[in-house]
């Protein structure tokens, strides 16, 4: 048996804990050693919780030896995004405007749920400042890089989690997604991640981006994400938006095939320009859906680009995020973030309310669409990863990060479940993501289709 675990899944680790062929201590030691080796190349972590992780692993090992694991994830190494409160660990949100002193005395709901299940937090992962953009660099921690090519971005805002997941530096990773921030890095790093239906996973404190923001897992397999959701997606009374919903049985096994499913395949949503090599990989992946028995129809969902609606809500949220900062603190912000926050100051109440109305109309349109189709499938990203340290490809037509994330943000407006599944490599040898979208509350359709597709689309591992 190899003494490193670059491709071990959480489901596999738990099985080995149970049979006694692997100890949580061995797994944590290996994981921490690989973080020490690999993190300097990618800058995925804001802090590493090594001392406590080893102590907790020893406690977990004793429980497994006694046959009394404390919960669903006992002994599994996980990471938490730097936007999420984690007791005992700094949550700086990538910003020099936050205090290094803490105190760090409280867990967000998901941090608490994961720890209560026995998961071991090995560190916090990087994000752009306050999670504001689709790549990962910030004034506090610098640039995060893509394990497939460290000259390139892993995407964002959950870029640290994406890089860590690709290298298996921890087995389960928490991300957040208000415009694509789980799915963008999963596409760019060859990992799986799902933005579940809004409300299943509780959020506290509330995001400045309000009900655009979803919390979800980023993993190497869809089964691991389902496992993580079975713990994350529990009610918490502090969440003032979700109303304490109880979700499905996340670990329900997938069906044998997709016979009887109607799947809509839109190669470009009717308005997105997609790189030809990415389009080809997506086409090949869609053929596997037909091999699984689904009826696939080429059809666009029928809406025009909702960028203006999204930007109105996004810019207003950015304004809220900085309103308590003084002039000196604002001057220390990422200039791009400060720019959109100031643009948000110009959003009138009338424009904001119009955007909310447009959002509700789009939501109703997609609800009607999913009465006909179990899934909508598109590319996750229209372009390949580009140079790290830039918000848009250095040479190209894009002005803002939203201009190249055209497949992701519409489904934050509609609050639907949406996932990115690695489906192959482009002509540069870089990962390509397949975007799976289902109707609200139909998250299991996304997870089940992904698990079945993984039979044809094996996990991707970055080159050494």
Which pLDDT score is estimated for 244? 65
> Is 385 a residue whose pLDDT tops 90?
yes
From 95, 158, 181, 242, active-site residue: 181
Which pLDDT score is estimated for 1? 38
**Whole-number CA gyration radius for the chain:** 21
> Is 371 a residue whose pLDDT tops 70?
yes
Cα distance between residue 83 and residue 207, in whole Å: 9
- Is residue 195 part of the annotated active site? The answer reads no
- CATH T-level assignment (fold) for domain 10-232: Amidase signature (AS) enzymes (3.90.1300)
> Is 3 a residue whose pLDDT tops 70?
no
> Is 124 a residue whose pLDDT tops 90?
yes
- Is residue 371 part of the annotated active site? The answer reads no
Cα distance between residue 316 and residue 319, in whole Å: 5
Share of the chain above pLDDT 70, in %: 99
Confidence label for 2 from pLDDT (cuts 50, 70 and 90): very low
> Is 362 a residue whose pLDDT tops 90?
yes
Cα distance between residue 196 and residue 232, in whole Å: 11
How many beta carbons lie within 10 A of that of residue 383, not counting itself?
A: 20
- Give 157-216 pLDDT, tens digit per residue: 999 999 999 999 999 999 999 999 999 999 999 999 999 999 999 999 999 888 999 999
9 Cβ contact partners less than 8 Å away, ≥ 6 residues apart: 171, 219, 220, 221, 223, 224
- Give 68-113 pLDDT, tens digit per residue: 999 999 999 999 999 999 999 999 999 999 999 888 999 999 999 9
- Is residue 408 part of the annotated active site? The answer reads no
**Residue 401 contacts residue 177 (beta carbons within 8 Å):** no
**Residue 418 contacts residue 446 (beta carbons within 8 Å):** yes
280-307: average pLDDT: 98
| 19: phi then psi, degrees, rounded to nearest 5 | -85, -5
Cα distance between residue 379 and residue 266, in whole Å: 8
From 23, 81, 195, 266, active-site residue: 81
Q: Which pTM value belongs to this model? A: 0.97
- Give 419-440 pLDDT, tens digit per residue: 999 999 999 999 999 999 999 9
Domain ranges of the chain: 10-232, 262-453
The domain 262-453 having CATH identifier 3.90.1150.10: the answer here is no
Angle at which helices 50-66 and 24-42 pack, to 10 degrees?
150
Say yes or no: do domains 10-232 and 262-453 share a fold: yes
| 79: phi then psi, degrees, rounded to nearest 5 | -125, 155
13-24: average pLDDT: 98
209-228: average pLDDT: 96
350-367: average pLDDT: 98
- Give 127-145 pLDDT, tens digit per residue: 999 999 999 999 999 999 9
Cα distance between residue 84 and residue 204, in whole Å: 9
Considering the chain, what is the average pLDDT of its residues? 96
Residues in the chain: 464
From 23, 95, 127, 157, active-site residue: 157
Which pLDDT score is estimated for 344? 96
> Is 383 a residue whose pLDDT tops 70?
yes
Cα distance between residue 40 and residue 46, in whole Å: 11
């Amino acid at each position: 048996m190899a003494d490193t675990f670059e491709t071990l899944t959480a489901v596999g680790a738990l099985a080995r804990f149970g049979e006694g062929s692997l100890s949580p201590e061995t797994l944590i030691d290996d994981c921490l050693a690989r973080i020490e080796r690999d993190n300097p190349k990618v800058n995925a972590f804001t802090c590493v919780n090594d001392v406590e992780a080893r102590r907790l692993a020893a406690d977990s090992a004793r429980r497994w030896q006694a046959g009394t694991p404390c919960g669903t994830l006992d002994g599994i190494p996980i990471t938490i995004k730097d936007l999420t409160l984690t007791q005992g660990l700094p949550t700086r949100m990538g910003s020099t405007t936050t205090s290094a002193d803490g105190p760090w005395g409280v867990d967000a709901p998901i941090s608490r749920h994961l720890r209560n299940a026995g998961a071991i937090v090995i560190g916090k992962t990087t994000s752009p400042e306050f999670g504001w953009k689709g790549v990962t660099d910030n004034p506090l921690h610098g640039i995060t890089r893509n394990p497939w090519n460290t000259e390139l971005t892993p995407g964002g805002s959950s870029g640290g989690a994406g890089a860590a997941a690709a290298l298996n530096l921890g087995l389960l990773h928490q991300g957040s997604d208000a415009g694509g921030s789980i799915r963008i890095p999963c596409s760019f790093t060859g990992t799986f991640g799902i933005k579940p239906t809004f409300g299943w996973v509780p959020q506290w404190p509330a995001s400045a981006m309000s009900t655009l923001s979803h919390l979800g897992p980023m993993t190497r397999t869809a089964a691991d994400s389902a496992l993580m959701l079975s713990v994350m997606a529990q009610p918490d009374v502090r969440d003032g938006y979700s109303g304490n919903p109880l979700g499905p049985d996340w670990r329900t096994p997938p069906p044998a095939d997709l016979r009887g499913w109607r799947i809509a395949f839109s190669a470009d949503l009717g308005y997105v320009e997609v790189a030809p090599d990415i389009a080809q990989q997506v086409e090949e992946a869609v053929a596997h859906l037909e091999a699984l028995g689904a009826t696939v129809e080429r059809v666009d969902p029928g809406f025009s680009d909702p960028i203006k609606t999204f930007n109105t809500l996004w810019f207003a949220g950015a304004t809220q995020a900085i309103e308590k900062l003084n002039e000196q603190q604002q001057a220390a912000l990422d200039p791009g973030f400060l720019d959109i926050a100031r643009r948000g100051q110009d959003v009138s109440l009338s424009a904001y309310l119009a955007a909310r109305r447009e959002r509700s109309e789009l939501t109703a349109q997609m609800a009607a669409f999913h009465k006909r189709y179990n899934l909508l499938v598109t590319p996750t990203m229209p372009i390949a990863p580009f140079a790290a340290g830039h918000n848009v490809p250095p040479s190209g037509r894009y002005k803002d990060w939203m201009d190249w994330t055209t497949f992701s943000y519409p489904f934050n407006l509609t609050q639907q479940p949406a996932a990115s599944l690695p489906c192959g490599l482009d002509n540069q040898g870089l990962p390509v993501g397949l975007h799976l979208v289902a109707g609200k509350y139909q998250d299991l359709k996304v997870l089940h289709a992904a698990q079945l597709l993984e039979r044809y689309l094996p996990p991707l591992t970055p080159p050494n």
